[in-house]
Structure 1
Amino acid sequence: MRRTLYVLCLMVALLTYGLQAYSQDNSTAKQFSVAGIVYDDTGEPCIGATVRVKNEPGVGTVSDLDGKFAIKVKPGATLLFEYVGMETVQRTILKDEPSLSVKFKVAKTNAIDEVVVTGLVSQKKVSVVGAVSTINMDELRTPGTSLVNMIGGRMPGVITMQISGEPGQNLSNFWVRGVSTFGAGAGALVLIDGIEGRLSDIDVDDVESISVLKDAAATAVYGVRGANGVVLVTTKRGSKEKIQVTARATVKLSQIKRLPEYLSSYDYARLANEARAMSGEADLYTPIQLDIIKNNLDPELYPNVNWIDEIMKKTSLQENYYASARGGGDVAQYFVSVGYRHEGAAYRQKENQFHQPLSYDQLTYRANINMNLTKRSELYFGVDGNISNYTTPGGKNTNQVWEDVLQLNPLMFPVTYADGTLPTYGQSDLISPFAALNYQGYKSSDYSRNMITLKFTHRFGGILKGLVGSVQAVNDRTAGFSERRFVRPDYYRATGRTSTGDLIKTLRSKQQDMFYSSDNESWRKYYMEAKLDYNTSFGAHNLGALLFYYMEDTKGSEWGNGDALGIAAIPKRRQNVSGRLSWGYNSTYFVDANFGYTGSDLFPKGQRFGFFPSIAVGWAPTSYKWVQKHLPFVNFFKIRGSYGLAGNDNIANTRFPYLTIINNHAATTWGYNGSGIVEKQTGADNLKWEVAKKLNVGIDANFFNDAIKLNVDFFRDTRDHIFQDRVTLPEYAGMVTYPKSNVGRMHSFGSDGNISYFHKINKEMNFTVRANYTWSQNIVDYFEENKLAYDYQSVTGMPYGVLRGYISEGLFKDEADIRQSADQTAAFGVVRPGDIKYRDVNGDGVINKDDRVPLSYGNNVPRVMFGIGGEFNYKDFTVSMLFKGNTGVNYYRVGMGYDAGWIPFYNGEMGNVLKMVNNPKNRWIPSWYSGDPSTENPNAMFPRLSYGSNANNSQLSTFWKQNGSFLRFQELNFRYVFRHRKWLRAAGLSALECDFVINNLFTIDSAKYFDPEQAWFNGAAYPIPTTYSLQMYFRF
């Protein structure tokens, strides 16, 4: 692959520089010969420095591995020496220069001169008046599974939660400024080079910049797609420089450290007897059986299986490789890259005819060329995409296998019987996770995406100088194919032993022929855009204007499945016209006016287009001389504010929600067997898009020669026309399903920001410390619901995502305490001492659903997320670290649907029991059973044990409430860069960068038995591992 890549890049480079050579070799005028060496500010030779003749396009060269160059020029020519990060050097040539020595100086940069991508345009940071977060891409040159996982804790305004560590599925969910709606998609719009895409589809080394647009000033131009924020990813393009070849190799070792600990078989059996005694039932295990279990005398009938140890390996391996080439000249510039990623699962698997390693593999590729057709016109052509394969067990996916581990107790059945046959259990013939991993075949899913882009750009001259026009067309194709090869082998159940000691087994399921199924789907998108961008200046005034149009047509093959009318197969179409006017005066006053006029065929005729304007202003007083004189330590200070509208058309999961659809395939009852008709969907009347009214105020400031940089924003987002069910319609209206309408309202508010401090200790040593935060809270202003008995039951007026349940008042002390308390038996059945006691909120003497109240914010989206990090640099050595965390969220150990382990024996023998339950101090035990009154602990972590269903103790209540906050040592990176070594030059390398990185070192939290980001469902998913990575960058 490397050889092919090298040849491809060399061909493009030869084509480009052949034109340059022609321009030099065919000059008839007398020329001088100039040769020499270029050095950086430390005296080291500069590799790849550009040497070109001023005002003579195409005439130039680059320095070699020793910093040497040679060029022929005309008398009086001026040579320009350019190098990244250095000031340009000019030399006028009047005679032959056989040994010219050129030394660069580090370029003096001003933070406010940084260029930021703010949507459809790029602006200098000083003139940005919208709320835009950016990140230094050097911070992301670290081993990671995806861009979305890397930006968590690094960018203000972005909240991420990684809920699984499963290969290929270990991507974080993310939101811009939290959740601002309850009736539609709350995810941000992701645009890669202007086209909607996924962050998981792109390699981080292909990215030039990332910007997150957060307020209406930045998102209004995206119309009905911008309400939830926009993530802009700009990928790398070619450049006018000598070919630069980069290769990266990463090997990563994953280790799952945080795993739940469950009881051994003996302790499980003891507590099972205790649980049955608490319910007035006989022991499940006799003393003889307990002795057999304790001494492991019959591991087939009374096994002691640690299912985690049986199916989990200590480590798994991941690999990541990447190579790119970048360069070009005045005629053309090019960039080409290819990347490969492999992730293996930490499951133990046996080699057999049904075996297929569980893994995720992805290949990414990108190639583009920018050709200068004339001095003012250029043509861009790009191809990019990815191919991936995801392999899982044939019967269950890897998350479901992990859920089985939480469900199975150690006594249920062995991994295999002594003769190698597989066991099953119960009336439903439950199989083990070991069998699911190794003997049920596999499912293989392939996914591919390929996108072709063609763009023409022209820069006008004359009286239209400053006007740039462009047109772009994109063909985006995606395909998916999955096949499942499923087999069910022989399964047996052991019921006892014969008088001779032989195991008695019954065949419960006979092996079947392998079952094969497949599925395929495809999507295609046609996208076209046209843009006019005008920028000019006169005096101290800067003016900008933009007019932008796009249209897209998207269709997926799966949309029509099961749709007799074919409505869902109709392509989705959008059109948009956007505009922008900007004015700036003396780098002090700034005004931006934006609008988006978007149409979507999701809505009925006459209501398909929406207008979304915004206005933003900024004031930077640091340009005043009196500020510079009296506040010299303030290098830059700007106050900015914006207000505007943005839309959201992702409001329904049906193709045309405004249509009433009649299903003519439904049968009726009352003895009639023919076909009938029924309303499949009741059309939404007066359907419209969701509208976000966004207000933002922020400050940007730099102090002490830009050593301290500060950005803080305060925001409020009000949502109208939220799409929801009209549940207040009476039942006698005869509706099969509730119709929907845009009646909901909600608002969110909060703040985000970041601060950094850079200190240069000396010429060779410096450090940077940075921190960022995002705080977002929401309130539901109107949620249509049926008439409620009590106001506290209403969703309206409460944060969206607040969980409702009972308020615990501890554990019942005795029968007298039960009699003197509100009656809980009507709702939950028999209540005994040691059970959870609930507060009678409405005072009617009965505990039931009317006593359920809003408890706390328990959504899986935290209200606050923050990151703290930095790096220390000494010469070519760097150590960097990142801490991230969140707060303002709770989780509940019971009542969320994932109770395994926390309600012991909740379904009889089904369900594992956590080791912490075995400690008598952690559970309530009656003195009549323990013989010790102190075991009736009113502050016990667990209520009394019970065998089988216990409706009372399994309710969502404050008894099970836990703080979901955490602080994670996310990353520790040691980096050393080798440069200017003879052995590097001998190998053709300009630099070699080595990184050793540890991710997820430790976490401070209350979850303990699983990762806190998985606490919302009690860790019922593939665990999130700690990883150790060795990464090497080879720069040629």
Structure 2
Amino acid sequence: MILFGLFFGFLFGVNAQIDTAKVVASDDDSLVHGTFNSVKEKDMPNGVSVLNPSEYLDKHYGTYPLDGTAAFVGGANLWNLGDHLVLIDGVQREIRDITATEIEQISFLKGANAIVLYGSRAANGVVLITTKRGKAGDKQMNVRVNAGLNMPKAYPEYLNSGEYMTFYNQARENDKLAALYSDEEIANYTGHTNTDRYPDVDYYSSDYLKKMYNTYSVNGDFSGGNDIAQFYLFGAYESNNSLLNFGESQNALNSRLSVRGNIDLKLNDYIKTYVNISTVYNSDKSGNGNYWEKAASAKPNKFSPLIPINSIMSSAKDALSLLEENSSYLIDGNYLAGGNSEFGTTAFGDEYLTGYKNYIDRRFQYTSGVDIDLRNVIDGLSFHGQVSIDYINKYKQSVDNGYAVYEAEWQHFTEGDSIVGLTKHGKDTRSGNQNLSEQWNHNVMESFIHFDYTKTFNDKHNLDVVLLAAGARKREFGEFQSYTNANVGLQLSYNLDHKYYVDFSGSLVNSTKLPKDKRTAFSPTIGLGWVISDEDFLKGGIFDRLKLSATAGEVNTDLNFEEYYMYQGIYSRSSYFSWRDDKYKNQGFTPTHGENLDLGYVKRKELSFGVEALMLNKMLAFKANAFFIKKDGLPQQAYSQYPSYFKTGYPSGSFVPFINYGVNNYKGFDFEINYRKQFGEVALTIGAAGTYVKTKVLKTEEEFGIEDYRSKIGKPTDAIFGLQSDGFFMSDEEAANTTIKQTFGGELRGGDIKYVDQNGDNVIDNRDQIKLGTWGSPFNFGLNVTAEFKNFTLFVLGTGSLGGIAVKDNDYFWVYGDKKYSNVVVDGWTEETKNTATYPRLSTLSGANNFRTSDFWTYSTDRFDLAKVQLTYALPKSVLGSSFVKDVNIYVSGSNLLTLSKNKDILELNFGKAPQTRFYNLGVKAVF
């Protein structure tokens, strides 16, 4: 069955991945899982970093596999090249498919020489995850239980009703319009004498939100075996609830159940086989609607969330009749859902009356393989093969009710305010049915086979050869074209006495995203290494080991091809046309892009250098890489290279084909430093890691003759372009008499933003945009500190990033028209505050001039985060005695504790979604 699966996978393009059976070793150095093999760490090429979660998980517990990796691994972001490949036991899967406890090792493959055997899909780097396996010997069981609290860091701050009405009047005054709200009205809302009639809704108050929500988890694994069979079993359950304390979402539950089983069998002295099975079940149940999204847009004074029925006047017959007709739709038996013609659905009505939704995600993953020792054929020869089948099924399970909202007519009497009338908006509906929707599924088949030859000659000459074939096919629900990937590869590695290294690795790739004659390409790489510390002139110095290495290569990739058939001329439906006095109609077609049967692969061209050092009796370890990468031939429709009539305006169409035109450059370095020293009874370990990446566009499509300051060429690949601001117009007269015309619409007034005319044409338009900064942070880094004293372990982890910016372009900052007002408008420009104002004048109009990308709205994203602090206590052996419990660890931890940044208040805010939280956890781990 296994051999049939391997043949089927190879024949139909099922992809190759890591093989954990082959070990190349010469001493007792730790093993590292690399490209289709496992080698001694000292023999790894440069551009590879390794983490072993079992070494740090007891002091730095978390479920997310890559939690804090920037503090351990230089280049954990894989040099910022783009979306990387995640392989779990050699199969392309998602990082969410696994938890940290299940993992034996994580390898970060960054260099071209390290990733080339995985084919075109690996060109942006590979995160290679190897799960735990059983070992021959005593059985062992680990159980871990955790309970945690999630506490919001911050909520957006919006104006209350009185403030909103006051500032809205100010905005209308700025627009030369009459005030909308009278002083009496504002006083009624500010006085809070009857918040049902004069609502002042704070959607982030404790009336609707809890102070915290809970996370619980339990997991356990069991492993063991003998010389013939070994097994590893893992199971975990995790759940968390919601911050909302009302409606359906007060019973919300997000849960995850996962099970994994890995089995290894020795059939005879020559054949071994293994089977891995895992399944993950995710359920995310909550009320219908999106509370956080509506909370960010609903104004505090527009309606009362709940209308108390006991406020309806006894003589209001029509209102009472309407209440009786809809009594089955009351909230808690005492309230009607509030609203009006403008707000026919509300955040509160959604939670109370629309039912619930439950997003189900089910995953089943099967992997099996065989390892055959062929030493009786050729000494040192072996065969390895693997096949995997994954199924993912997602759907939404829901009860979808409709509801009406009610607008109350209030009247004041001597004894107080009463409702004298009700207006109903909408309709109450309850189908009583449970619905299934948003169904999606896909299945993936992958496979590989490879022959390995490993041989040592004369105890010095070490040769390692890998010849492989691999492929993958993924089918997604609703997609006509299946995703496919295939490649064959060859690796020739040689080292002389583990001192001088040379490695040639190449891959012949195939992609159906390219034209028939361009689908095959060869990716060659070469690596060199020199353990210079073994030379006589360095022996006896401060270096215990010093290795220099270099790699060069060209990797062909189709990752930048967002669609299939980009090489073909494609036509799509366009506008309608009619004839015979509009009696007959038909729809036309227009070209999307032209044909180019010479469209080829994008090429990652790389030169990198590495250094690894152990110093001072292995007290200090250092690793660094410098890299120079060019992505050449990015597919673009290069309009500037074709006549203008190749593109039409209406209906929009283009005969311009995609060509290999764009070129981007990436250069930088990464590093890892680890220091360990004993100070009396205290063992101290300090680690630091970082990555610096500088990107540049060398060639790209842009209009002919574009000004240098607007050109993307020479700028970072993630550059942000916008206008340069020049303060505010200080009066209506200055705005009206400006000699530089700003063309973004609306009449300019005092308090509007002025912009710099970059090209001197006395017109401000999109031609005046310059580079403002970059979205990404060029430098990312982290620190980790461990202090061990007797049975106590203190662990501290911090991560940071420098050099990036972001734009305050959401509705919290860009307040205009009839939007909800946040507290940023308090500093808005007025005639009285024009010398101190930090925000443009308020307006009830479009705000087209002020609210556009410019340096006025940018802010630095530089930050350092205290990401984790954990204190662990290991119960002494004297307490455990000879019981069946071997070890017990008790720990408390805090995550996302502190952000140090000039713009902390912005960085810690979420807009239109649940808030960021600090997480406090108490856990116990027991080993049996």
Question: Which residue of 616, 623, 644 maps to 2:534?
Answer: 623
For 1:751 and 1:237, how far apart are their aligned partners in 2? Answer: 34
Partner of 1:450: 364
- CA contact 1:340–1:362 (8 Å) conserved in 2: yes
* Structure 1 partner of 2:454: 535
Residue 722 of structure 1, aligned match among 630, 634, 646: 634
Q: How many residues align?
A: 861
Give secondary structure in 1 for the equivalent of 2:275: strand
The aligned counterpart of 1:669 is: 578
Aligned to 2:646: 733
Tell me how far apart the structure 2 counterparts of residues 726 and 980 of structure 1 sit (CA, whole Å): 71
Structure 2: which amino acid aligns with 1:479? N
Note closer, same or farther for the CA distance 1:864–1:311 as it changes in structure 2 (3 Å cut): farther
The one-letter code of the counterpart of 1:1021 is K
Out of 466, 469, 473, the position equivalent to 2:383 is: 469
**Unmatched runs of 5 consecutive residues or more in structure 1:** 1-108, 160-175, 181-185, 560-567, 928-934
* TM alignment of 1:125-140, pairs within 5 A: 125-137=41-53, 138-140=55-57
1:514-663 correspondence runs (5 A): 514=431, 516-537=435-456, 538-559=458-479, 568=480, 570-629=481-540, 631=541, 633-661=542-570
Report the equivalent of 2:76: 158
**Which residue in 2 is equivalent to 1:1003?**
899
- Give secondary structure in 2 for the equivalent of 1:391: strand
Who is 2:918 aligned against? Answer: 1026
Name whichever of 267-276 and 786-795 sits farther off: 786-795
1:411 lines up with 2:331 in the alignment: no
Aligned residue runs from structure 1 range 774-853, under 5 A: 774-787=691-704, 790-815=707-732, 817-818=734-735, 821-853=738-770
Matched, 1:291 2:210: no
Question: Aligned partner of 1:336: which letter?
Answer: L
Which piece of structure 1 moves more, 278-287 or 815-824? Answer: 815-824
Q: 5 Å matches for 1:909-920?
A: 910-914=819-823, 917-918=825-826
State the secondary structure of the residue aligned to 1:579. Answer: strand
Instruction: Compute the displacement of 1:948 (Å).
Output: 3.5
What is the distance in 2 between the residues matched to 1:276 and 1:684? 54
Provide Cα deviations, 1:488-526, integer angstroms capped at 9, x if missing partner: 211123465477742543211111234745242322222
- Identity, in percent, stands at 24
Instruction: Call closer, same or farther: CA 1:306–1:344 in 2, change over 3 Å.
Output: same
1:908-929: CA deviations, max 9, x gaps? Answer: 2x21321x543xxx443313xx
Residues 655, 626 of structure 1: CA spacing in aligned structure 2 closer, same or farther, 3 A cutoff? Answer: closer
Give 1:145 deviation, angstroms: 4.8
Q: Over residues 245-282 of structure 1, what are the superposed CA-to-partner deviations in whole Å (9 max), with x where a residue is unaligned?
A: 11111112111122222222222222222222222222
Please give the per-residue CA displacement for 1:766-801, whole angstroms capped at 9, x wherever unaligned. Answer: 010111111112111222133355332222322122
Q: Say which SS state the counterpart of residue 147 (structure 1) adopts.
A: coil
CA contact (8 A) 2:71 2:784 kept: no
Contact 1:394 1:442 in 2 (8 A): yes
Confirm or deny: 8 A CA contact 2:880 2:887 kept in the other structure: no
- Kindly tell me: are residues 1009 and 415 of structure 1, through their superposed partners in 2, closer, same or farther at Cα, counting changes over 3 Å? farther
| Aligned residue among 783, 789, 792 for 1:877 | 792
Give yes or no for contact 1:371–1:379 (8 Å, CA) kept in 2.
Answer: yes
* Residue of structure 1 equivalent to 2:336: 421
**SS class of match (2:72):** coil
Q: Residue 24 of structure 1 aligns with which residue?
A: none
Structure 2: unaligned runs, 5 residues or longer: 1-24, 310-334
Equivalent in 119, 139, 152 of residue 35 of structure 2: 119
**Counterpart of 2:516 in 1: which secondary structure?**
coil
- TM-aligned CA deviation for residue 816 of structure 1: 5.3
Query: Cα distance, 1:404 vs. partner?
Result: 2.2
TM-score (norm 2): 0.88
Q: 1:600 to 1:503 in 2, by over 3 A?
A: farther
Change (3 A) 1:863 1:412: farther
User: How many angstroms apart in 2 are the aligned matches of 1:462 and 1:275?
Assistant: 88
CA RMSD after TM alignment: 2.6
Partner of 1:742: 660
Query: Partners in 1 of 2:627 and 2:346 — Cα distance?
Result: 51
Question: Structure 1 residues 948 and 517, CA, compared in 2 at 3 Å: closer, same or farther?
Answer: farther
Query: Distance between the aligned counterparts of 2:591 and 2:882, measured in 1?
Result: 71
Superposed counterparts of 1:935-1014, under 5 Å: 935-938=833-836, 940-983=837-880, 985-986=882-883, 988-1012=884-908
Q: Is residue 697–residue 714 contact of structure 1 (8 Å, CA) maintained in 2? A: yes
Question: Residues 744 and 247 of structure 1: is their aligned pair in 2 closer, same or farther, counting only changes over 3 Å?
Answer: same
Residue type of the alignment partner of 2:293 = E
Give the match for residue 6 of structure 1: none
Alignment partners' CA distance in 2, 1:357 and 1:720: 53
**Shift in CA distance, 497/853, structure 1 to aligned 2, threshold 3 Å:** farther
Give 1:704 deviation, angstroms.
0.7
* 2:324 equivalent in structure 1: none
Matched residue, 1:89: none
Secondary structure, in 3 states, of the residue corresponding to 2:239? Answer: strand
Alignment match, 1:373: 267
Q: Which deviations, in whole Å up to 9, do the C-alpha atoms of 1:338-379 show, x marking residues without a partner?
A: 11121223223326xxx6843321111111211111123211
Per-residue CA shift, 1:384-407, capped at 9, x if unaligned?
A: 1211122344334xxxx3232222
The 3 A distance-change label for structure 1 pair 426 and 809 is farther
CA offsets 1:579-606 (integer angstroms, 9 cap, x no match): 1111112332111110111112222222
Partner of residue 222, structure 1: 118
1:737 deviation in Å?
3.9
Mapped contact 1:725–1:741 kept (Cα < 8 A) = yes
Aligned counterpart for 1:759 among listed residues 677, 691, 699 = 677
- Per the normalisation by structure 1, the TM-score is 0.79
Q: Distance in 2 between matches of 1:239 and 1:489?
A: 60
SS of 2:744 mapped into structure 1: helix
Post-superposition offset of 1:652: 3.7
